[in-house]
Homo-oligomer: A and B are copies of this chain.
Amino acid sequence: MSTVAVLGLGLIGGSLARDLHEAGFEVVGYDRTREVLHAAHTSGVVSSMLGPDLEGLEHIETVVFAVPVGIAPHLMQEALPRLRSARLITDVGSTKTAICQQAARLGIGRQFVGAHPFAGDHQSGWEASRSGLFRDARVFLCPLSETTPEALQRARELWQQTGARTELIDAEAHDERLAWTSQLPQLASSALALALDTAQVSRPELGRGGMDATRLAGSSPEIWTDVVLENAEHAARALAALEQQISGLREQIEARSESGIRNALERALRWALSEKQSGSKQRT
């Protein structure tokens, strides 16, 4: 798989393209924003550019969809007639159920492995992309029941090039878990920003800890609206749990309950200090 097509050159796609380029792969690129595509080409990371209708994709064995999760299923459908040479079709989205279902529906399930590199931060776009972003990061791999061992092996090897650690997980279990580990911190940070905004408190007024707590509020609304919509049921449930904790804490404070407040903060501290990973994902 010495040639890889990366469709979408934002933070994740762009960083993957950089790593693969540095590892000696030939990267064929596509981005709906032509300036981004040209910048990636000019930088040398992308050696050739696909046409506006993905012309040139026909002969490529490894195809990575790296566009927002709301767009990926549509782009995959558009690309379908040009995926006949593909031995691995994969993606990078933060939700996995819908894209896995779409791959099955389009009849490319044997070649498809859903992937979610759990890296990145509040930044986005090609300008924020950088090599080394995935070093030591976890990458969740979600094969379908029909995915061939060859396709899965190719997906593992692709991510090994970036220094990431791959973990196999079922798509639905992934989405349920990531509502807590990823979407909840994102939404909590945005909600905190909104509360401070209503009180006319600006971010530079915060201390170091408050800056940390609100960093994710700077994330891309476009990317996260799609993710949250796709995972709405799990995300709403996680938010409800947070709402309940905040409400409980507020009640302890209103009651001036020293033991109530202290117990809550102590439980939070014990959680913060715990180093064991309570998940039960299978390391591949």
Contacts and interface: CB of A to CB of B under 8 A. Distances in A.
Interface of A: 118-122, 177, 180-182, 184-210, 212-222, 224-225, 228-229, 232, 235-236, 238-247, 249-250, 253-254, 256, 258, 261-262, 264-269, 271-279
Contacts of A228: 253, 261
Contacts of A216: 209-210, 212-213
Given A120-B207, A210-B185, A279 B202 contact: yes
A195 B274 contact: no
Contact of A242 (B192, B203, B236, B258): B192
A44 B213 CA distance: 36
A216 B232 CA distance: 27
B209 A122 contact: yes
A184 B188 CA distance: 12
A196 B180 contact: yes
A146 to B, nearest CB: 29
A229 B213 contact: no
B177 A274 contact: no
Nearest to A242: B195
A264 B180 CA distance: 19
Given A191-B268, A240-B250, 18 more contacts: A119-B207, A121-B207, A121-B209, A180-B199, A182-B209, A185-B210, A188-B213, A190-B264, A190-B265, A191-B242, A193-B271, A205-B279, A217-B271, A221-B265, A224-B265, A225-B261, A229-B256, A236-B254
